[in-house]
């Protein structure tokens, strides 16, 4: 099939490459000429396991092309996927300007039947706005063309995006149009071994499903973070509690890890946007407000631990930071807890020696101008002369480091672990003062 994908970001590139993988002819459009130039040269602007190879393979086969030419892109696909950003407005609601600009482009250049697919995360009612914008532009052009607007939210996780797209837990299609529904089913059929994975529903329910999924996952995390704080006070270990409750099938074991709070481009923004939608409807979504507050508190957890140990004035102190990305296997620094930590500690006079396996270029960009922040080329170099090691992202290579070397290199053997990577008893055996999140040893 001929498919156009608007937006060459995380969602757009993964969608484009994976759809091309199944034999579709995909044109990926972006307004950012720098990104498109890179992609045309065979460079991939984001780090995502498996994505470079998928793009290279399909581009070489002529099934995946990149362009900034709006008319050509709209002309190409019967299906027009919109995968542009929906960042938060000042009031927390999703900013739809990019989605509506994409819709306008479709209306401006279409000459035949199109299925417009909202893949961006958008509030309930957006499909109606997209439909109205296209209708308005067609009206201005004096044309009466048929088109359908479908909601098809994306559930991929960064760091596992290609895998998630190729083997989805479910595919949600919100659709009120029979012809569009047939086309959507055909496009997704190759991604499903089990037909039950495709859930076709009305458009508004599909739009709300996306926010509900992210909000539920964020709720689990905030719940566990709060319980971790309680566990520390009562002398319990959150890791045992996690295993204990996760084995109940009704609860399940995923997304129960206490840590430094959830970050990334989605949970914080989507929880905020859902709260905002509630307010617009005269509803206080109190559970989600608490989820958000708990997360803001949790992002301070390592800061609080440092202050408790070293006092409010950190002048002359140096801290090693391992991990900058908001999670492993990505260089994404959006809403990363490391940003809060580094900003708060340097504001109080501390120096930071930071290391991340892939996110340092991006971290340099977003943390430019931060005083006393130094990026080092190896995790062990971060430890030199540091008063403590702070772990923020659970990269695999941090899991079994040389503990003797850590002990010998730090000024004092103190690890403040925001990801619970190590067993407190093992750390005691190495003679390391170790504080995790919600671990018995932290009490
Ligand atoms: P992104 O910022 O990585 O990419 C968006 C791209 O759209 C940018 O390259 C931008 O230049 C381009 N763009 C903006 N306006 C355009 C237009 N009119 N035409 C063509 N391109 C345009 O964003 P992302 O992380 O891919 O997220 C996109 C959407 O998908 C958001 O709504 C997000 O909430 C949702 N989502 C993201 C993820 C994720 O893990 N990143 C997962 C699921 C859903
Ligand atoms: C999340 C969802 O998992 C995806 O399903 C969704 O498609 C995506 O948002 C989106 O809508 O954009 P992502 O933001 O890539 O994906 O990353 P997650 O793996 O969900 O992690 C989000 C944050 O939660 C990270 O900071 C992570 O460290 C934190 N987290 C996750 C925890 O603190 N504890 C956990 O148990 C799990």
Residue 443 confidence (pLDDT): 42
Ligand 2 pocket (Cβ < 6 Å) reads 121, 154-158, 214, 217, 221, 255-257, 259, 262-264, 266-267, 326-327
Q: Which of 263, 281, 296 is the last residue of a domain?
A: 296
| 47 part of a folded domain | yes
Report if residue 427 sits inside a domain: yes
Residue 129 is labelled as binding a ligand:
no
Nearest ligand, CA 14: 1
Residue 269 lies in a domain: yes
Is the residue at 206 inside a domain?
no
- The verdict on residue 107 lying in a domain is yes
Residues 186, 116 within the same domain:
yes
pLDDT of residue 337: 96
Cross-sheet strand order for the sheet of 373-375: 373-375, 351-355, 318-322, 388-391, 414-417, 433-435
| 237 and 310, same domain (yes or no) | no
Tally the domains of the chain. Answer: 3
Is there a domain that residue 236 lies in? yes
Average pLDDT score, the chain: 96
**CA–centroid distance, residue 268 to ligand 2 (Å):** 10
Cα R_g (the chain), whole angstroms = 24
Catalytic (active site) residue 266: yes
Ligand 1, atom 42: nearest CA belongs to which residue? Answer: 156
* 322 lies in the same domain as 431: yes
Ligand at minimal distance from the CA of 223 is 2
Ligand 2 nearest-atom number relative to CA 225? 33
The ligand 2 atom at the shortest distance from the C-alpha of residue 160 is 15
Q: pLDDT tens, 61-93? A: 999 999 999 999 999 999 999 999 999 999 989
Which residue owns the Cα nearest ligand 2 atom 7?
155
SS3 for 204-273, per residue? Answer: HHHHHHHHHHHHHHHHHHHHHHHHHHHHHHHCCCHHHHHHHHHCCCCCCCCCCCCCCCCCCCCHHHHHHH
Verify that 33 and 175 share a domain, yes or no: yes
Q: Are residues 415 and 312 in the same domain?
A: yes
Which of 121, 164, 214, 337 for mutating ligand 2's site (highest number of atoms within 8 Å of CB)? 214
pLDDT at 233: 95
Is the C-alpha dihedral spanning 203, 204, 206, 211 positive or negative?
positive
Give me the sign of the Cα torsion angle 252, 258, 261, 263: negative
Q: How far is the CA of 82 from the centre of ligand 1 (A)?
A: 8
Examine the fold and report which residue of 242, 274, 296 is the final residue of a domain before the chain moves on. 296
CATH of the domain at 347: 3.40.50.720
Q: What is the pLDDT of residue 196?
A: 81
> Percent of the chain, pLDDT > 70?
99
pLDDT tens-digit readout, 384-415: 999 999 999 999 999 999 999 999 999 999 99
409 shares a domain with 393: yes
Cα 419 from Cα 399, distance rounded (Å): 10
Say whether both 30 and 165 belong to one domain: yes
| Stretch 369-378: mean pLDDT | 98
Query: 224 and 256 in one domain?
Result: yes
Residue 25: band (very low, low, confident or very high) from pLDDT cuts 50, 70, 90: very high
Residue with CA nearest ligand 2 atom 34: 257
Q: Can you tell me the mean pLDDT for 147-168?
A: 96
pLDDT reported for residue 442: 45
Return the residue whose CA atom lies nearest to atom 41 of ligand 1. Answer: 10
Residues 102, 245, single domain; the answer is no
Note the pLDDT tens digit of each residue in 34-67.
999 999 999 999 989 999 999 999 999 999 999 9
Per-residue pLDDT reduced to its tens digit, 5-19? 999 999 999 999 999
Q: Are residues 175 and 225 in the same domain?
A: no
Write down which residue in 296, 331, 354 finishes a domain: 296
Q: Helices in 70-168 by DSSP H: which ranges?
A: 70-76, 97-109, 126-141, 161-166
Same structural domain for residues 197 and 219?
no
- 230-250 pLDDT, tens digit per residue, is 999 999 999 999 999 999 999
From 85, 156, 336, give the residue whose CB has the most ligand 1 atoms within 8 Å, as the site to mutate.
Answer: 85
Closest atom of ligand 2 relative to the 155 alpha carbon: 7
161 CA from centroid of ligand 2 (Å):
11
pLDDT of residue 194: 76
Ligand 1 center–CA 266 separation, angstroms: 11
Closest ligand to the CA of 340: 2
Which domain does 429 fall in, by range? 299-442
Atom of ligand 2 nearest to the CA of 220: 36
Between 442 and 18, name the one with better pLDDT.
Answer: 18
User: DSSP 3-state assignment of 407?
Assistant: helix
Task: Assess if residue 423 is contained within a domain.
Answer: yes
State residue 268's pLDDT score. Answer: 96
Residue 257 pLDDT greater than 60, yes or no: yes
Please tell me whether residues 58 and 158 are part of one structural domain.
yes
The values of phi and psi at residue 369, to 5°, are 90, -5
Q: Evaluate whether residue 101 is within a structural domain.
A: yes
User: Which domain CATH number covers 274?
Assistant: 1.10.1040.10
Q: How confident is the model at residue 193 (pLDDT cuts 50, 70, 90)?
A: confident
Gap from CA of 190 to ligand 1 centroid (Å) = 24
317-366 per-position pLDDT tens digit:
999 999 999 999 999 999 999 999 999 999 999 999 999 999 999 999 99
């Amino acid at each position: 099939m001929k498919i156009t994908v608007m937006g060459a970001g995380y969602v757009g590139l993964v969608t484009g490459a994976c759809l091309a993988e199944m034999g579709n002819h995909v044109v990926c459009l972006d307004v950012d000429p720098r990104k498109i130039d890179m992609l045309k040269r065979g460079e991939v602007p984001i780090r995502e396991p498996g994505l470079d190879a998928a793009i290279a393979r399909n581009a070489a086969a002529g099934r995946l092309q990149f362009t900034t030419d709006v008319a050509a892109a709209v002309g190409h696909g019967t299906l027009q996927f919109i995968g542009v950003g929906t960042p938060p407005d000042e009031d927390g609601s999703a900013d739809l300007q990019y989605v509506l600009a994409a819709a306008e482009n479709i209306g401006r250049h279409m000459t035949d039947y199109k299925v417009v697919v909202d893949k961006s995360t958008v509030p309930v009612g957006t499909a109606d706005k997209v439909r109205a914008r296209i209708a308005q532009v067609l009206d201005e052009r004096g044309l009466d063309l048929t088109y359908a607007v479908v909601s098809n939210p994306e559930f991929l996780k960064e760091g596992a995006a290609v895998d998630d797209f190729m083997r989805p837990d479910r595919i949600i299609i919100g659709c009120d149009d029979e012809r569009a529904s047939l086309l959507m089913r055909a496009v997704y059929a190759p991604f499903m071994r089990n037909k039950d994975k495709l859930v076709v529903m009305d458009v508004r329910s599909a739009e709300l499903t996306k926010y509900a999924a992210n909000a539920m996952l964020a709720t689990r995390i905030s719940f566990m973070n709060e319980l971790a704080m309680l566990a520390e006070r009562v002398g319990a270990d959150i890791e045992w509690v996690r295993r204990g409750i996760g084995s109940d099938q009704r609860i399940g074991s995923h997304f129960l890890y206490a840590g430094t709070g959830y970050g990334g481009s989605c949970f914080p923004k989507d929880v905020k946007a859902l709260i905002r939608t509630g307010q617009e409807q005269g509803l206080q979504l109190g559970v989600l407000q608490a989820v958000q507050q708990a997360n803001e508190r949790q992002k301070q957890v390592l800061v609080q631990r440092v202050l408790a140990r070293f006092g409010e004035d950190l002048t002359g102190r140096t801290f090693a930071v391992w991990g900058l990305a908001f999670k492993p296997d990505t260089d994404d620094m959006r809403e990363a807890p490391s940003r809060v930590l580094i900003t708060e500690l340097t504001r109080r006079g501390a120096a930071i020696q930071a290391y991340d396996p892939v996110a340092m270029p991006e971290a340099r960009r977003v943390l430019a101008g931060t005083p006393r922040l130094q990026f080092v080329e190896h995790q062990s170099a971060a430890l030199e002369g540091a008063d403590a090691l702070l772990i923020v992202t659970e990269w695999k290579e941090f899991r079994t480091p040389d503990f003797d070397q850590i002990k010998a290199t730090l000024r004092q053997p103190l690890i403040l672990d925001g990801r619970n990577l190590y067993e407190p008893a093992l750390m005691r055996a190495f003679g390391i003062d170790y504080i995790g999140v919600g671990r018995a040893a932290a009490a």
